A and B are shown apart, each in its own frame.
Chain A
Amino acid sequence: DSGVTQTPKHLITATGQRVTLRCSPRSGDLSVYWYQQSLDQGLQFLIQYYNGEERAKGNILERFSAQQFPDLHSELNLSSLELGDSALYFCASSVGGGASREQYFGPGTRLTVT
């Protein structure tokens, strides 16, 4: 158990809908990262927040957005869902916001868009 929690574990929704994924980092960690994992693309970095502020952006679509709240939990919002958005979404956390720190991953949310 990494100490990172994610809810829900599974989510099934229809195309065009909007969903929210939630993540709570390990106690003491200030950074939260979001990743998407699909069979063909592997683990792709989406976005990082550090202590409430956006720190870095990766391959995140404009239909996707995230935020980190004062209690450091984070939410990833996915809108206008398409079939291709079906994937595993992972949250990870680390102590600092910079480089050279290992990230600890949560159990993931499996999103299925039908």
Chain B
Amino acid sequence: EDQVTQSPEALRLQEGESSSLNCSYTVSGLRGLFWYRQDPGKGPEFLFTLYSAGEEKEKERLKATLTKKESFLHITAPKPEDSATYLCAVRGGEGGSQGNLIFGKGTKLSVKP
């Protein structure tokens, strides 16, 4: 069964304190790993797509990396406006989740000034 586990569930950082969020996955035939940011009561906002192990993508203070079993979202020198829930999702092969997104439960990030 396709599965996504994110850790930690919650993370509190001081402004400027860099850290990483983890997304572990089991999926038959990975066809994409996606990171989203979600603010309270809002829809998820697309951040990155990663397709193969070793791939990295960056956007401002965020950098996503991918291995064969997990992905990391690195946050460098975070600011209070980076506070949000970060969601990881995978798309597996057609035989498993029918090729649709399986989401983790997210990591709630709080950045204090």
Contact = CB atoms under 8 A, between A and B. Distances in A.
Interface of A: 2, 4, 33, 42-45, 48, 56-58, 88, 90, 92, 98-108, 110
Interface residues of B, number: 26
Interface string B21-36: 0000000000110101
Nearest to B98: A56
Given A103-B46, A105-B44, A45 B51 contact: no
Nearest to B31: A99
A91 to B, nearest CB: 8
28 contacts: A2-B45, A33-B101, A42-B103, A42-B104, A42-B105, A43-B87, A43-B89, A43-B103, A44-B103, A45-B101, A48-B100, A57-B98, A58-B97, A58-B98, A58-B100, A88-B41, A90-B44, A92-B43, A99-B32, A99-B99, A100-B49, A100-B51, A102-B34, A103-B34, A105-B44, A105-B46, A106-B43, A110-B41
